[in-house]
Amino acid sequence: MRTPLATLACTALALAALAPASPAQRRAGSIYDPSQGPSGLIAEKTAFRRGDILTVVIAESQNVKNQEASDLSRATNLNYKLNLFDVKPDAFNVLPKLDADSADGFIGSANYEKSGAFNARLAAVVVDALPNGNLVVSGRREIRIDDETKLIEFTGIVRRWDIRADNTVQSELVANAEIVYRGCGPMTDSTKRYGLGGWLHRAIAWVWPF
C-alpha cells in the first residue's frame, strides 16, 4: 500500500513533467521554445489581421526633368510700284508710295530639374482588413532630441501578397500611400521665416518684378 508521502512525491514528479522546460533544461539544438508564446511552428508570421504590426521600408526617390525650347520667326515685305500706265500717265501721281517691311522673332527655352530621396523604416499597425484581403495600415514615429522633434507618419493600403517573409513591405508597393515628414524646434525654425518678417518677405517677392 502506497503511503501518503509516496503519493505526494509522484504528484510532484507529474507536475514537473508537465511544466515547460527551462532554458538550462531544454535539449541543445531544439527548435521549439515554449517561452516564445503560443504561436505554432507553422503559424502565419506576417501581418494579416487587424492589430497586427508590419514594417514599412520607405525608400522614395524622385528625379524630374523637363526641357522645352521654341523658336518662332516671321518676316513680311510689302512694296507696290506702278511702272507704266499709258492711258493717263499722271493719274496716279497724287497717290502716296507704299513700301513696308516687318520682322518678328521669338526664341524661348525652359529647363527644369529636381531630385530628392527619403529613406526610413517604420512599424505600422493594421487598422482594417478589407473584404478582398488588402490591409489598411497606419504608422507614426516621433523622435525627440533635446528641443527638436521629428515626426514621420505613414498610411496606405497593403496587398498581403506584397508582404515579405520577414514581415516587411516596400513603400512603392503600397496603394494610396501618404508619407508625412515634419519637424519643429529651434533647428527647424532657423530655416523658416515667421511673423511680420515672413509676411513682408513674401509681399516683396510677390510685388518685385525683377
Please state, in angstroms and as integers, the Cα–Cα distance from residue 135 to each residue in 29, 44, 128, 166, following that order: 37, 15, 6, 17
Q: Of 79, 80, 78, whose CA–CA distance to 103 is shortest?
A: 78
Closest CA to 46 of 128, 124, 160: 160
| Residue 8 reports pLDDT greater than 70 | no
On the question of pLDDT at 17 being above 70, the answer is no
Q: How far apart are CA 168 and CA 60, in angstroms?
A: 16
Q: List the one residue out of 136, 140, 125 whose CA is nearest residue 160.
A: 136
Residue with cell 510689302: 78
- Secondary structure percentages of the chain, helix, strand, coil, to 5: 20, 45, 35
pLDDT (tens digit, 9 = 90+) per residue, 101-119?
777 777 888 887 878 888 9
Mean pLDDT across the chain: 76
Of residues 95 and 134, more confidence is placed in: 134
Q: In Å, what is the CA distance from 176 to each residue of 4, 94, 130, 157, 194?
A: 70, 79, 14, 6, 33
Structural contact between residues 53 and 171, judged by C-beta atoms closer than 8 angstroms:
no
| pLDDT tens digits, one per residue of 50-89 | 999 999 999 888 787 888 888 878 777 766 666 655 556 6
Three-state secondary structure call for residue 63: strand
Q: What pTM was estimated for this model as a whole? A: 0.54
